[in-house]
């Protein structure tokens, strides 16, 4: 049965993991996402669904435990925050290379280095452009609400298994820490499928299953890369998700994702109260990026302001999508600072309307 609750983002996400029928969670504490593993340990999902939860000795071990469980065709996940996600990049590259499904949550805090525990969007490049070594892509989902944090856990596992590819939920310290009303989906059964690519023990008269990302022959490795690229083109064709607000009559456009999109939407409403016809496009998938939608809107608007909690990362993808049709400007706060709607509106007036 669907259930309404008031929940903290990280805890709601952890509950969603149990309800999505996850088989295993492996994690390591780091602020501001420790509530995920704390909630799971408290809830003890092995009693509810048989889901395994283990606190690993490091983020590196945790992502490699995910690799092992995912290689058995199980729904495996981990979560961390920025410095910990950096440590997982090796494992993610191997998981992408071995074409294993898994879910990774990044409750982003500001960097570089140890940075601060305050919210940020400064891991956009790392999430969307690769992060680890080699040509690979994560499917990146960007929740703006606690509700989306919950829904994207289920969606994330679906996409991960549909494409046998790691999926990242790129959350942030605001969404992870705030409490909101959330509708929890019903308990989903754990998978009861023996995937032919999974190591479950060699079947008589069948070849053994090998999970690997190693191809010593360049010709073979190129084939792997071509297969991955073909898969990414499919993802780009099928999985773009975004929302638009007030774009029907828009003369200007905001582009923003995650918690920053909610603040920007407030700025949009304030601008409209002043008679400025501005819309907002909010990517829900950062990879694949809603490039076509933005390119289409570029035919309609006079300029686009990208608003982010970083020094300007998604703005590069917006510019590529717009391809020079109209000016694309950037406004952001970083280091854990959060832009106010007033600042965003002022930036729109100065950089786009007056610019």
Partner 1 sequence: MSESNMITPENLVYEKTSVMTDRVLHYCPGCGHGTAHRILAEVIGELGIQGDTIGVAPVGCSVLAYYYFDVDMQEAAHGRAPAVATGIKRVLPEKYVFTYQGDGDLAAIGTAETIHACNRGESILIVFINNGIYGMTGGQMAPTTLAGMKSSTSPRGRDVATMGNPLKITELVAQLPGTYFVTRQAVHAPANVRKAKRALKKALEYQKLNKGTCFVEIVSNCPSGWKMTPVQSNKWMEENMFPFYPLGDIKVPPEKQ
In the bound complex, what is the minimum distance in angstroms from residue 137's beta carbon to partner 1?
19
Shortest distance (Å) from residue 76 CB to partner 1: 7
Judge whether 313 and 121 are in contact, CB under 8 Å: yes
Contact status, residue 56 vs residue 28, Cβ threshold 8 Å: yes
Among residues 8 and 75, whose Cβ is nearest to partner 1? 75
Q: How many residues belong to the site for partner 1 (CB under 8 A)?
A: 40
For partner 1, give the closer residue by CB, 200 or 230. Answer: 200
Rounded least distance, CB 20 to partner 1, Å:
16
Instruction: Work out whether strand 179-184 and strand 166-172 pair parallel, antiparallel, or are unpaired.
Output: unpaired
**Given 4, 47, 113, 208, the residue binding partner 1 (CB under 8 A):** 208
CB of 53 to partner 1, least distance (A): 9
Helices 291-298 and 314-322 meet at what angle, rounded to 10? 60
Q: Which is nearer to partner 1, 68 or 327 (CB)?
A: 68
Between 17 and 247, name the residue whose CB sits nearer to partner 1: 17
Closest CA to 104 of 27, 196, 175, 172: 27
CB of 81 to partner 1, least distance (A): 20
Q: Interface with partner 1 includes 200 (CB under 8 A)?
A: yes
Alpha carbon distance 213, 96 (integer Å):
8
Among 213, 221, 225, 244, binds partner 1 (CB under 8 A): 213
| Sole binder of partner 1 in the list 16, 24, 167, 347 (CB under 8 A) | 24
Q: Does 209 bind partner 1 (CB under 8 A)?
A: yes
331 touching partner 1, by CB under 8 A: no
Q: Say whether residue 204 binds partner 1 (CB under 8 A).
A: yes
Q: Decide: is 189 part of the binding site for partner 1 (CB under 8 A).
A: no
Site residues (CB under 8 A) for partner 1, limited to 60-79: 60-62, 64-72, 74, 76
- Cα torsion 34, 35, 39, 40: sign: negative
Enumerate residues 29-58 that contact partner 1 by CB under 8 A: 52, 54, 56-58
Of 15 and 59, which has the nearer Cβ to partner 1?
59
Least Å distance, CB 25 to partner 1, is: 10
Identify the residue among 31, 199, 221, 300 touching partner 1 (CB under 8 A).
199
Residue 290 in tokens: 């809603």
Should residue 210 be labelled a site residue for partner 1 when binding is judged by CB under 8 A?
A: yes
Q: Which is nearer to partner 1, 44 or 58 (CB)?
A: 58
Q: Which helix (DSSP H) or strand (DSSP E) does residue 11 occupy?
A: helix 9-19
Phi, psi of 169 (to 5 degrees): -95, 115
Q: Of the listed pieces 3-11, 21-29, 121-129, 316-324, which binds partner 1 according to CB under 8 A?
A: 21-29
Residue 137, CA distances (Å) to 49, 69, 131, 191, 301 in order: 31, 20, 9, 25, 31
Helical H segments across 72-145, by residue range: 82-97, 124-129
Q: Establish if 193 lies at the interface with partner 1 (CB under 8 A).
A: no
Site for partner 1 in 76-105 (CB under 8 A): 76, 90-91, 94, 98
Burial 79-112 (b: 16+ CB within 10 A, else e): bbbbebbbbbbebbbbbbbbbbbbbbbbbbbbbe
CA separation for the pair 294, 285 (Å, rounded): 13
Sheet holding 166-172, edge to edge: 52-55, 24-27, 76-80, 102-108, 166-172, 139-141, 285-287
List residues binding partner 1 (CB under 8 A). Answer: 23-24, 26, 52, 54, 56-58, 60-62, 64-72, 74, 76, 90-91, 94, 98, 199-204, 208-214, 216
């Amino acid at each position: 049965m669907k259930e309404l609750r008031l929940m903290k983002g990280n805890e709601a996400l952890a509950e969603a993991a149990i309800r999505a029928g996850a088989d295993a969670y492996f994690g390591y504490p780091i602020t501001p996402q420790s509530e995920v593993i704390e909630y799971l340990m408290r809830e003890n999902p092995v009693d509810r669904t048989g889901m395994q939860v283990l606190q690993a000795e490091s983020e590196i071990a945790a992502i490699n435990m995910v690799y092992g469980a995912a290689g058995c065709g199980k729904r495996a996940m981990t979560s961390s925050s920025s410095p910990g996600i950096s440590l997982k990049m090796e494992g993610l590259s191997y998981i992408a290379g071995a074409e294993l499904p898994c879910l990774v949550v990044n409750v982003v805090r500001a960097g570089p280095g140890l940075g601060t525990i305050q919210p940020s969007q400064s891991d956009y490049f790392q999430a969307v452009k690769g992060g680890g070594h080699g040509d690979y892509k994560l499917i990146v989902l960007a929740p703006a609400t606690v509700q989306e944090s919950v829904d994207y856990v289920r969606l994330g596992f679906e996409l991960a298994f549909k494409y046998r590819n790691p999926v990242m939920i790129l959350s942030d310290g605001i969404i992870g820490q705030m409490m909101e009303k959330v509708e929890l989906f019903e308990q989903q059964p754990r998978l009861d499928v023996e995937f032919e690519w999974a190591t479950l023990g060699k079947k008589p008269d069948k070849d053994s299953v090998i999970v690997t990302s190693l191809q010593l022959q360049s010709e073979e490795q190129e084939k792997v890369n071509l297969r991955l690229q073909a898969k990414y083109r499919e993802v780009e064709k099928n999985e773009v998700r975004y929302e638009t607000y007030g774009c029907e009559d828009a003369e200007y456009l905001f582009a923003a994702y995650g918690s920053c999109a909610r603040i920007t939407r407030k700025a949009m409403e304030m601008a409209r109260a002043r008679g400025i016809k501005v819309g907002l496009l909010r990517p829900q998938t950062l990879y694949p990026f809603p490039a076509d939608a933005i390119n289409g809107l570029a035919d309609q608007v006079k300029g686009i302001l990208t608003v982010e909690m970083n020094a300007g990362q998604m703005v590069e993808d917006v510019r590529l999508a717009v391809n020079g049709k109209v000016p694309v400007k950037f406004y952001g706060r970083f280091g854990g600072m959060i832009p106010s709607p007033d600042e965003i509106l002022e930036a729109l007036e100065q950089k786009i309307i007056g610019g």
